[in-house]
Structure 1
Amino acid sequence: MKTKANDFNLISKRFLEEYSKNQQPIRVNFKEMVDHIKFQDRATHSIHIYPAKLLPNIPYFFLNNDFFVKDNEFVLDPFSGSGTVLLESNLAGKNSYGCDSNPLARLISKVKTSTYNISILKNIINTLKMEIQNTTVDSNDKFPDVVNIDYWFLPNIKLQLHAILKAIKTISDDNYRDFFILCFSNCVKKVSLADSRISVPVKAKLNRETNNLHPFFDESKSKLKRLEDLDVFLKFTEIVYDNIKRFENKVKINSKSQSTKIISDDARKIGIPDESVDLIISSPPYAGAQKYIRACSLNLGWTELSSKDNLRILDKKNIGRENYSKADYLTLKVTDIVEADLLLTEIYKINPLRAHIAANYLLEMKQAIIEASRVLKKGKYFILIAANNQVCGREFKTQEYLRMIAEDAGLKTVCRLVDDIKSYGLMTKRNKTASVITCEWVLILKKE
């Protein structure tokens, strides 16, 4: 492992030296540079599904590399999502801070970076089984405030889920209760009528389409049949034991207990002192981003992390969101990035909403980057991962605009890396006016 870290040090120095000579982006392939680890099976990365996860090879490279950060120093991800950077920080012997506006993302990050006694986890699942056997649930019960609950869940599934939730809520220890709530959350969509291939809830097609051409009819019909007779507790138990194995694996990789704290629900208000972190690694959302709250709406409801009425409020906290009223974009906001403003003026003539989404995204990202620069120590690095996309058929140079914002905030660009995307979760067409993201930029910024 030490040899690999030394290799990463040398590669990093070479990147920065090469960039300093010609200021040209350097093509890389993080999957090839970090090809000795199967991240799908690594520690607790797969503890819960989450849309558009960061490729873990990228933070692994920078965290197992004392050119950027040393053991027991503090790493921040102001857009931590499901905790990829936070977990890799811990496994690499670093402490970490995270921020995210989505309460489900914060729960995933908290649990996957926590420490558990495996024997206690196994004892609790056995206790839950007995608790559920003694739990009475009927259709007159007060169920969690899940959006369109009867549309997404068969009656027998709904009753079983509620019985499991009631049993979990009897667990007295908050930390252990969070583990089982997260396992329960990961079970929710698997036993719903939502199509598991699509991140946002879309009901699985259960009727034969015209000319019998619908490609997923048989698969959807098979899922419905399984749900009619499904033992949800058995499914939940399978998820619990899979996650217990992940924690056993996590201890084998690093048995030390580095600290992780979820410190804020807003990257613009991180809430820690000036110059208190040694490295920032983050992949912020994009303008017209993944619909994180909608994608997690069933989970948020069943875990009681959000009522259905609060979902809109949560969505408004997302940088890069798409939902605005017409009153919001009666006039186009000015970002003070000349190239961006010229482009957005042209887009506004075609589609005022898309122009507003992109403009407001840059203004809110400016606040977030200024805040990140505030908490970063002098002489330390900010690894910013971003990608260009299209808005109304025009190239929107997200990474370039964010780089300009960062430089205005007192950060110097010391290297730009470009990694072609082959099969990342970010390679999605998010709406009809957006495009598929085909390469990712890694900006290495330094606070001087």
Structure 2
Amino acid sequence: MQTNSENNATRSPADTAGYSSPWRVFLVFLRLGLTSFGGPAAHIGYFRDEFVKRRKWIDEHTYGDIVALCQFLPGPGSSQVGIAIGRLRGGVAGALAAWLGFTLPSAILLVAFAYGYGYLADAASSRLLHGLKLAALAVVAQAVWSMGRSFCADRGRATLAVTSAILVVSMGAISGQIVAIVLAAICGTLFLKTPADVPECLAGMPGTRTQAIVCLVAFVGLFLGLPLAAKLADAHWLDLFASFYRVGSLVFGGGHVVLPLLQAVVVPSGWVSGNEFLAGYGAAQAIPGPLFTFAAFLGVISKGSPNGPAGAALATVAIFLPSFLLVGAALPLWGKLRSFQSMRKSMAGINAAVVGILLAALYDPVWTNAVHNATDFCLAMSALLLLAWWRCPSWAVVLLTALATLAFG
């Protein structure tokens, strides 16, 4: 067993000084981006092992505070944790380096799949692609179940979840989601109960109040201004950027919740077909890194210009940009914000609504586009069994389901 002195001997001077160069931050997160399978919950575990236990870049208290903060923010939770760690370790450049390292591997793989998808479709490999849709069904079903157990542990929150699902199915994805989130926030504040005790916030979070306000103003300004600018300019690239920025600003509850929001943006507009969307979502389960890089796949195959690599870069930057601004705004203010019980009760309601939104997506488009006969049902349930109870990694379940459709589909 290594002693503390041995551990310190194996760490670089930058590590012991509490600062790392952006290049070093990039390399550490690049390795995580290449190996972090299993989704956001697994990513949080990988980060803890890497930065708390192995490298000792931050302590357990700091890490717990960062994770708690990112649960309150819309956007990709694990990526936001990475951005915050990079900000703590290497400043603003470190935050950018952390995001690039963790995001690039999955984005590149999905761009490659987008080009390969056209070849597969031309080669009449529809059964293989159908297997990706069935695997996506299993992944979303598991997300609904696990998130429901965490966020809907009582009758009040379960009622909010089911009500949200009904609103989304009956009103449509975009308007239904907005109404569900607003209603859940109000009901949560008024009626839900949350623990009164809040651990004392760690001092020393980076950034000043002025920087926080600048980031918050930029976030709100882009959220409100981009759609107006896209409408006035009548430019596809600006419309694409505004749409993906809006999605990145509204996703509460983790990566899987991005599915209904993105589907509501790219499929009805004709940018991406329903089959392309679900095939890409299935492929996104089989690779490491954040699920939000699904935007890269959609940017490549989007109808209109830009698409291809330029479209992938535009969509990926747009969907992650809100996370940078929100983390920059929240880090200096986190201690004050989470002391308000009304804020925590509102977030409890929003988290319950997120479960309902994902439940609605499980029905449409996932189930309605994937399950057409008894064989599809059996394969989807088998995939869910492997994923949820046998604890098989998601990439292996995706691969097995796709191969099974070739044999039995």
TM bin (shorter chain): under 0.3
Q: Of Structure 1 and Structure 2, which has the larger fraction of its residues in strand?
A: 1
**TM-score computed with the length of structure 2 as normaliser:** 0.23
**TM-score computed with the length of structure 1 as normaliser:** 0.22
Q: Of Structure 1 and Structure 2, which has the larger fraction of its residues in helix?
A: 2
Larger Rg: 1
Greater relative contact order structure (CA < 8 Å, 6+ sep): 2
